[in-house]
Amino acid sequence: MTFEIDTAFNEAIEIEGIEKEVTDNGILWTITTHQGDFQFYCDGYQQFIRQEPFYQFGQTLSYIERGGFSLEQTTSQDNPNRIRKDIVEQRIKDLEHFANAKKRHIKRRERDELNKQRERNEIDTKQFLLKKREIKEMLDYYDYWLKDTKFENW
């Protein structure tokens, strides 16, 4: 079986899951993506999990995080790069940025709710303006710290 996919990098196929189902016709593999599903029958296909899974803030792994390219059938690959100081420090920064992106999201929802309260005349003008300014300052703070990070547009 062969197939060809023509896609730009920013439109890369993102795999959501891989499922294996034994049927009367053989083993049916389904690869679920954001763009659609691939299904194929293949009795001889095996999937190998080369490393222990770890949380990632995206759909890609760098060459170093992946531990290089390999078609080996190893299932317990040791990857010392995952504990390298620079990679661990980057993961810590990413976690901090993610926490700020989450807080910013909550503040945006708070701002939207405040605007709805104002439209429904549930809050007086002075309280509205004070709260609006407080929320804006926090959003500006989060925007500043998330600028030029992978979480800038989250």
The kind and range of the H/E element at 135 are helix 125-146
Given a contact cutoff of 8 angstroms between Cβ atoms, the answer to whether 13 and 35 are in contact is yes
12 with 41, same domain? yes
Same structural domain, 103 and 72 = no
Q: 8 falls in which pLDDT band (50, 70, 90)?
A: low
Q: Which is nearest to 31 in space by CA: 42, 46, 20? A: 20
pLDDT band for position 7 (50/70/90)? low
- DSSP, collapsed to helix, strand or coil, labels residue 65 as helix
Mean pLDDT of 48-62: 75
Query: Would you say residue 153 lies in a domain?
Result: no
Provide the number of structural domains found in the chain.
3
Residue at 152 is within a domain = no
Q: Which domain holds residue 89?
A: 85-146
Note whether 42 and 58 are same-domain residues.
no
Q: Is the dihedral of CA 49, 54, 57, 62 positive or negative?
A: negative
The pTM is what? 0.61
pLDDT at 1 over 60: no
Same structural domain for residues 38 and 62? no
Whether 56 maps to a domain, the answer reads: yes
